[in-house]
Amino acid sequence: MKVLVIGSGGREHAIAWKLSQSSQVKSIFIAPGNGGTHLNPKFKNINLTDITLIADFAIKETIDLTIVGPELPLSEGIVDLFRSKNLNIFGPSQRAAQLESSKDFAKDFMYRHNIPTAKYKTFKTPDEAHQYINEQRAPIVIKADGLASGKGVIVAMTDKEAHDAVDFMLVDNKFGDAGAKVVIEEFLQGEEASFMVVCDGKTILPLATSQDHKRLLDQDMGPNTGGMGAYSPAPVVTKEIYTKVMDEIIYPTINGMAKDGIPFTGFLYAGLMITKSGEVKTLEYNCRMGDPETQPILMRLKSDLFEILYNAALGQLNSIKIEWDARTALAVVLASAGYPENPKLQDEIYIEDHLISDSYIFHAGTIYKDNKLLTSGGRVLAVTALGNSVKEAQSKVYEVINTVKFNGAQYRKDIGYRALNNN
Ligand code: AMP
Ligand code: GLY
């Protein structure tokens, strides 16, 4: 079988890596891929990002299955386009992807289907938004309605920050159309977790639980990022919480989408806030796997990823069972200097061979140019390892990190600390 993976991050490298372990998969193309996928002879990078050209490529190469990594092509309608050409693709339609591409759509959907989430209001004009902030007061959360490359959420701890965020989006139009509407919502407190499932429109297959680390610095300090590290499983998702998430969030979401005439196929990611009293609320939906959560999750997957996703794309997920490695997998992201505001690019990356078992260096913002591996994005690598405990997985990852060098590399030293405190 020939498979095409869309995207260029650590998530896509991990998806391709896992697919390459399937006996059914003969060739793996990645559009556009990165330096790491370029260097691996099992993969072929295709320098395309335009969805029409990607569809033409899939026809020409007779691709058997396409898997979409990031949200942008989903919001551009890549799944609808492929289906209109009878191409097999795994992901949500453009309408279903609104669960991620419009916060207003997602909040309205959650309210209509009684899915627990923070109280909110949506605004198009600054005056009403400012007035609402004056009534509700900080801490409060301001969200751009559309896709804003992970920068569209401002957790305002003061009224001034909240008012400034509204002006940034609704007056100065800094996010363009993505910020033409803002969602203002209640500030929630608790511990976050990531909960992902695979869905073929009817059958739901939950993936292993995980926890991301969104802040740049140790102890969850500093600015928000795309994610600086993750591990799986997340002990905060106890059996009781798991059941609650399935009953109160996942089933109502999939059933609600079907009822609304927009059946959901693809990866559904619910970002959770779990309160001290054991309540679970939905912070957000993503219509794709998380990055870097994918890296540890797929390292724990024992089943054949191709078989899961191929059957999901054909609407036959009910025939599939999924098996997990009981060990913990943990990933630490190495980011370039200046990330997230202003990442410095084009630094040479040196990686020594190492002999640490069950570990892998997934590439994200890397490029191979003139026989050199260079940084080409904010998040550069995700070093991932399996261990018999969180502590062991963590030690292995930091040992591998010692074999990697590039100028100004920054990474957190405490990934997994909540799980360690939980033990
Ligand atoms: P989102 O993209 O909506 O998940 O938001 C990004 C991050 O902002 C989340 O992972 C949380 O850390 C934080 N966040 C979002 N919504 C809220 C909320 N209502 N209360 C507190 N923090 C939030
Ligand atoms: N790591 C969070 C995300 O992928 O949205």
Residue 50: partners with Cβ closer than 8 Å, 6 or more residues away: none
Q: Atom 5 (ligand 2): residue with closest C-alpha?
A: 290
Best substitution site from 212, 213, 294 to test ligand 2's pocket, by max atoms within 8 Å of Cβ? 212
The C-alpha torsion from 229 through 230 and 231 to 234, rounded to 10°, is 140
Q: Atom 4 (ligand 1): residue with closest C-alpha?
A: 284
Q: Which residue has the tokens 């739901």?
A: 204
What the block records as the tokens of 318 is 């009910």
Looking at residue 421, its pLDDT comes to 87
- Cβ atoms of 249 and 237 closer than 8 Å: no
Looking at residue 423, its pLDDT comes to 55
* Separation of CA 218 and ligand 1 centre (Å): 18
H helix intervals, 261-332 = 294-300, 305-313
Does the CB atom of residue 271 touch ligand 1 within 6 A? yes
Looking at residue 396, its pLDDT comes to 98
Q: Atom 3 (ligand 2): residue with closest C-alpha?
A: 290
Would you give the DSSP letter of residue 202?
S
Question: Of all helices (H) and strands (E), which one includes residue 128?
Answer: helix 126-136
* Separation of CA 232 and ligand 2 centre (Å): 14
216-237 exposure pattern, b = at least 16 Cβ within 10 A, e = fewer = beeebeeebbbbbbbbbbbbbb
Does the CB atom of residue 138 touch ligand 1 within 6 A? no
Low-confidence ranges of the chain (pLDDT < 50): none
Does the CB atom of residue 214 touch ligand 1 within 6 A? yes
Which long-range contacts (C-beta less than 8 Å, at least 24 apart) are formed by 403-407?
403/351, 403/352, 403/353, 403/354, 404/334, 404/349, 404/350, 404/351, 404/352, 404/361, 405/349, 405/350, 406/334, 406/336, 406/347, 406/348, 406/349, 406/350, 406/375, 406/380, 407/337, 407/344, 407/347, 407/348
Q: Atom 7 (ligand 1): residue with closest C-alpha?
A: 153
Distance (Å, whole) CA 124 – CA 416: 40
Looking at residue 367, its pLDDT comes to 98
Q: Atom 4 (ligand 2): residue with closest C-alpha?
A: 290
Q: Cβ < 6 Å from ligand 2: which residues?
A: 212, 227, 286, 290-291, 293
Looking at residue 252, its pLDDT comes to 98
* Separation of CA 380 and ligand 1 centre (Å): 24
Looking at residue 285, its pLDDT comes to 98
Does the CB atom of residue 153 touch ligand 1 within 6 A? yes
- Cβ atoms of 234 and 211 closer than 8 Å: yes
Q: Atom 2 (ligand 2): residue with closest C-alpha?
A: 290
CA atoms within 13 A on the CB side of 372: 9
- Cβ atoms of 364 and 69 closer than 8 Å: no
Q: At 80, phi and psi to the nearest 5?
A: -60, -45
Best substitution site from 155, 228, 286 to test ligand 1's pocket, by max atoms within 8 Å of Cβ? 155
Best substitution site from 104, 121, 141 to test ligand 1's pocket, by max atoms within 8 Å of Cβ? 141
pTM of the full predicted structure? 0.97
Residue 290 CA: nearest ligand 2 atom is 4
* Separation of CA 93 and ligand 2 centre (Å): 20
Looking at residue 299, its pLDDT comes to 98
* Separation of CA 291 and ligand 2 centre (Å): 5
SS3 348: strand
Residue 59: partners with Cβ closer than 8 Å, 6 or more residues away: 85, 87
- Cβ atoms of 387 and 394 closer than 8 Å: yes
Q: Atom 12 (ligand 1): residue with closest C-alpha?
A: 214
* Separation of CA 271 and ligand 1 centre (Å): 8
Q: Which residue has the tokens 């759509």?
A: 105
Does the CB atom of residue 155 touch ligand 1 within 6 A? yes
Looking at residue 215, its pLDDT comes to 94
Best substitution site from 107, 143, 153 to test ligand 1's pocket, by max atoms within 8 Å of Cβ? 153
Looking at residue 395, its pLDDT comes to 98
Q: How many CB atoms lie within 10 A of CB 279?
A: 14
CA atoms within 13 A on the CB side of 229: 31
Distance (Å, whole) CA 11 – CA 288: 10
